[in-house]
Amino acid sequence: MTSTPPPVAKRLPHERTHHGETIIDEYAWLADQADPETVAYLKAENSYTQQRTAHLDGLRGTIFNEIKARTQETDLSVPVRKGPYWYYSRTVEGLQYAIHCRRPVQPGEVDPPSTEDGTPLPGEQVLLDGNQLAEGHEFFALGTLDVSPDGQWLAYSTDFAGNERFTLAVKNLRTGEVLADTIPETYYGSAWSADAGTLFYVTVDDAWRPYRVWRHIIGTEVSTDQVVYEEADERFWVGVELTRSQRYILIEAHSKLSSEAWYLPADAPDAAPTLIAPRRQGVEYSIEHQDDLFLVLHNDSALDFALASTPVDSPGEWSTLVEHVPGTRLLAVDAFREHLVLTLRRDGLTGLRVLPAAGQPYDISFPEALYTVGAGENDEYDTTSFRLGYTSLVTPDSVYDCDLATGALTLRKRRPVLGGYDPDGYEQYREWAVADDGTRVPISVVCRRGTPRDGSAPCVLYGYGAYEISMDPWFSVSRLSLVDRGVVFAVAHIRGGGEMGRAWYDNGKLLAKRNTFTDFVACARHLAKSGWTSAGRLVARGGSAGGLLMGAVANLAPEAFAGIVAQVPFVDALNTILDPSLPLTVTEWEEWGNPLEDPEVYAYMRSYTPYENVSDVDYPAILAVTSLNDTRVLFHEPAKWVARLRALAPRADVLLKTEMEAGHGGPSGRYDAWKEEAFVAAWILDRLGIA
């Protein structure tokens, strides 16, 4: 291991004064991406990290090869029917990106077609080949992939930097021609008119907030496009979609606490949008269409949400269809001609409930004690079959079709795991930690069968805890490289997420945010106390808002961990939320509070923001990973954090790795993503003494 000293960032005093407090931020200069010194510093950190981890090159290569060997590289997704076509994507060994295709439905064909070896279906048409589009680019991502109702046009959008600013294009699927009318600076989502002559799309403002819905007539100059809807309130973002019935264009505006929806007939794309229900602070609702009703999933006097309806021709009063049940969080509703399917969560697990037009509702049942289930792609409105996805910590991703009349499940595909994977060789458990305030916090655990419970096993504890996003049990091929080496993998279902309902989220945000951090520490200590591991053999891992979690627990309980992996970490949260010019800041005030206007929020965020609270303590080893073009958590947050850790905690073993051509999700190609995961996994194993 090299003894080369780490890079030292220069210190330039920069004052920040709010609510009578002046803070000196000596690393604020690192926020300037255009400054050659910033880029030079990031490259120096990359070089240092490479030198410090050079002894892991062989292990990284081994883990990459393990991931690759377990993956069926040439593979085919389960085709989804939409009109006269089956739509699917496939991957090819040696190629980074998916190829998106369709094939005509054959006479009498009911079940989705497949090939055993993942090769192309006979008669397929390639809609879009990501590998061809990505040629000459270090990064590639799709934003929108939307076929028109008549099957003639494909709207798609591309990002070659990782900053999630997409260029929208339209392809004629009959001729293969890509039209000249490309549209820059667009966001995710689009919607077609019924006659496929008009395309609706979304653009962002300077703060990366999707705020305008546009109408584009195919074949006309983009300069003549018209704004259909503009959202002036900076707390709100907008989206657009075509209902499954293909009868209505929906425009929905959401903040963190409130929402509002508009509609226009898909066969009258020039019509002005009609409001479904005016926004009310604290009331969230979303819309689905079924026949002559709009279905309204809402939280008006219903903490865990209820389902209602209102007439399409005169939206107004809501009539309750499914009552609010405390503790059963309704997440989404999918509408079909003769059925509704509710996605819900109860007792920390996801579920699906079928509501037939005639007959009794029923819940779809599954055999495992821990699992995750959710709606898959369901493009057909007039159907008796429902596509769903299922997985657990030991069961690979599985695609089922459910007969809505009987509830019977047909397994269409289970993700192949090559090399003789046997789920019976592993065990999954649900543990419960007790937080500082007495709250019971669930933990999901997976390990090799027979793993000792004497504190000797190494462990990785993963956490997120924000935005009501739940870290439900999931299967991971790359995780096997850890678990097969004896590592216990655990997920802390901490407050701030949505695992236990809306109250679980509410009690981990705003002025209750510290619950997220103390819950995670309680989970770590529970795993050690119950014999799953010990503090000296425990590595914590999280990304984005989970990266904030990593920085916070490093300050709160450094002795509880042997190492911490913080990926694209939101560790300079206070400075970011104080700056309304940055991407997402204003929309985030309802998640974190507004420290600009509220001195209590300022003081509270000041008390937990990792960058603000670095001190000279014995931190566990820290690996921070970020991306230069990330627009969600800007690269300078971990860069500043690492610089301050080096300056104020000189005994800290800290590494920073910056992807110079990527965004929030890291490298875009699958092989590059595997290499990134191998890098992190090797570092973890090294910290756990297994390398």
Closest by alpha carbon to 637, among 558, 584, 563?
584
Judge contact between 210 and 239, C-beta under 8 A: yes
User: Mean pLDDT, to the nearest integer, of 269-288?
Assistant: 98
Which residues have a catalytic role annotated?
Answer: 544, 630, 664
Tens-digit pLDDT profile for residues 62-121: 999 999 999 999 999 999 999 999 999 999 999 999 999 999 999 999 999 998 888 999
Q: Report pLDDT digits (tens) over 22-54.
A: 999 999 999 999 999 999 999 999 999 999 999
User: What confidence score (pLDDT) does residue 2 get?
Assistant: 46
On whether the CB atoms of residues 183 and 201 are closer than 8 A, the answer is yes
Per-residue pLDDT reduced to its tens digit, 220-267:
999 999 999 999 999 999 999 999 999 999 999 999 999 999 999 999
Whole-angstrom Cα distance, residue 569 to residue 565? 9
CB neighbours (10 Å) of residue 175?
8
Is residue 447 a contact partner of residue 491, using CB atoms and an 8 Å limit?
no
What are the tens digits of pLDDT across the range 578-629?
999 887 799 999 999 999 999 999 999 999 999 999 999 999 999 999 999 9
- Computed from CA positions of residues 42, 44, 45, 47, in that sequence, does the dihedral angle turn out positive or negative? positive
Question: What is the pTM for the complete model shown?
Answer: 0.96
| 3-state SS record for 264-275 | EECCCCCCCCEE
Q: Please tell me the distance from the alpha carbon of residue 298 to that of residue 278, in angstroms, as a whole number.
A: 13
Half-sphere exposure of 222 (CA within 13 A, CB side): 14
Q: Is 584 left (phi over 0), alpha (psi -120 to 50) or beta?
A: left
